[in-house]
Structure 1
Amino acid sequence: MAALLQPDMRSARLALALDSGAISLPTEGRIAVFRPRSGDDLSDLPKDRVTVITGFRPDHDWFTARGYACATAVEGAFAAALVCLPRAKAEARALLAAACAALPHGAPVVVDGQKTDGVDAVYKDLRGRVAVSEAMAKAHGKIFSFPAGNALTDWAGTVAEVEGFVTAPGVFSADGPDRGSALLAAALPAKFPSRVVDLGAGWGYLSRHILTRAGVKELHLVEAELAALDCARQNVTDDRAQFHWADATTWQVPHLAGSVVCNPPFHTGRDADPALGLAFLRAAAKMLAPDGSLWVVWNRHLPYDPALRALFREIEDVGGDGAFRVTRASYPVRR
């Protein structure tokens, strides 16, 4: 699920910068907009020239539904770029390098971001490398530009190998397995039903563990972030694995599953959002067979107990520690 900016934050900065002449865009040619989020208002840009570039499926679908051309990677020539800064520093740098690589030398790269997403640090880092414009501050963020060139080639995103797994900049837990997933992996049963879903599979850590258990004939990896799913394709090479680039909260399983394994996210941007994890729980319940089970790890402070008890007939804690609970929820309630 995508994090919504407060209404018109990005639009307010972009409109001010364009109207004041602080930032100018070429009158012709395509404009690449990297990583805007669902709810972002791009109406200050000529829609027929904009291509939204994002690998996050909910954002991709949101802009597609509103008539924007969308792509998961740079394709063809562009005359300018707008980079909407993400939270992760490594991903932000990779996007800026990708924007430069997509443009002719000297073409404008516009950078927009919230202070909470590190725009000040990015601006400071860029000042030592490129001829960056003065930053305009508005709506708790900043916008500025610089000419494309070769100065950021060392910022280009590269995959890394961590504990035998391939990861990429910006994916969840890129530095290695997170504590919750490790606890869930340790609590998984010795045998699974034949059809299993890894909901929000990330780069495939849990999937690899699932495939070591007896009984599994079909494993569906469902992941909204394409960069993570591409890593999972390298990390999970078993023929039983099927990969789905999809919003886990809306994806429909081809056939009801015997088990769902899930470490649901609970943040949108920097803010905790229990509704996101609850949407994962509801989606899992719908894709399970009547006698199926959900294996889920969650932070103890999250209010998931009432939802789990409303969605399943049997609830049992099967692992965890002081910060996390690992729960098996069985027999989904059919309404």
Structure 2
Amino acid sequence: MFVKRLSVLKDILPDLFTANKTICFINPQNLTDLDYFSNKNTVVLTDDIRLYSPLSGAGYNCKSDVNFLADVSVVLLPKSKELARELILLGSKIAKKGYVVIDGDKNDGIVSIIKELQKQISFDVNLSKAHGKIAVYKTASGNLPSTWHTNKFNKINN
């Protein structure tokens, strides 16, 4: 379903994923999640060996550490709300002066995460499509909720 929401997002913000921007893709669920992203400028943040090996073989730069910056972070939310918050924090840290794209299915809890974020952040895009939501914010548009973990991240799984 991510691919359907992504195609709508590309129509709304066509400059978001231009060829000169570095993309950090956090928590991909399937290999097909990266079909629309060039392996030249996409860093995949994962520690899942089932994805790490084939994506590395396809030429993607796969990392488990977060010691780099990107223009755009794409975060696919897991079901765990606590982990979702941590991944959004990672995405904001990596895209320090750029954009964070958050995507998830409604049954994964994205609605409550977005409601929580809307109290602090102004979204450039917030749309529902294909049983889920996709939202985009510029990291300079506000601070993440102070109740979220502020651990010092070194790896995707601390």
After TM superposition, is the score higher than 0.5? yes
- Residue 129 of structure 2, aligned match among 124, 135, 138: 138
Report what 1:28 is aligned to: 20
Distance 1:125 1:24, change over 3 A: same
Q: Segments of 4+ in structure 1 off by > 6 A?
A: none
Contact 2:74 2:101 survives alignment (8 Å): yes
CA distance in 1, matches of 2:149, 2:95: 14
Structure 1 residue runs of 5 or longer lacking an equivalent are 1-8, 160-225, 231-335
Q: Which residue of 2 aligns with 1:81?
A: 73
Q: State the distance in 1 between where 2:95 and 2:72 align.
A: 7
Residue identity matched to 1:145: V
Higher helix proportion, which one? Answer: 2
Pick aligned residue for 1:50 from 23, 36, 42: 42
Query: 2:104 matched to 1:110?
Result: no
- SS, match of residue 116 in structure 1: helix
Q: Would you say the 8 A contact 2:125–2:137 is kept in 1?
A: no
Report if the CA contact (8 A) 1:28-1:79 is conserved: no
Q: Which has the higher contact order (CA 8 A, sep 6+)?
A: 2
Q: Residue 13 in 1 paired to residue 44 in 2?
A: no
Q: Which aligned pairs between 1:222-241 and structure 2 lie closer than 5 A?
A: 227=157
**Is the 8 Å Cα contact of residues 111 and 145 (structure 1) preserved in structure 2?**
yes
Aligned residue among 33, 36, 40 for 1:41:
33
Unaligned ranges ≥5, structure 2: none
RMSD: 2.4
Aligned positions, number: 153
What is the CA distance between 1:67 and its match in structure 2?
2.5
Q: Is the 8 A contact 2:39 2:58 kept in 1?
A: no
* Partner AA of 1:115 in structure 2: K
Equivalent-residue separation in structure 1 for 2:64 and 2:104 (angstroms): 21
Shift of 1:12: 1.5
Offset of residue 23 of structure 1: 7.5
Partner of residue 91 from structure 2, selected from 95, 99, 124? 99
Query: Percent identity among equivalent residues?
Result: 25
Q: Hey, what's the Cα distance between the residues in 1 that align with 2:12 and 2:144?
A: 28
Counterpart contact for 2:45–2:63, Cα < 8 Å: yes
Q: Where in structure 2 are the equivalents of 1:209-220 lying within 5 Å?
A: none
- SS of the counterpart of 1:130? coil
Q: Distance in 1 between matches of 2:32 and 2:2?
A: 7
- TM-score (norm. length: structure 2): 0.83
Partner SS state of residue 20, structure 2 = coil
What corresponds to 1:277 in structure 2?
A: none
Post-superposition CA distance 1:155-189 (Å, at most 9, x none): 24649xxxxxxxxxxxxxxxxxxxxxxxxxxxxxx
Distance 1:147 1:20, change over 3 A: closer
Which structure has greater strand proportion?
1
1:184-236: per-residue Cα shift (whole Å, max 9, x none)? Answer: xxxxxxxxxxxxxxxxxxxxxxxxxxxxxxxxxxxxxxxxxx73xx6xxxxxx
Counterparts of 2:43 and 2:118, CA distance in 1: 27
Residue identity matched to 2:27? R
**Residues 1:124 and 2:124 aligned together:** no
Instruction: Pick the structure with greater CA Rg.
Output: 1
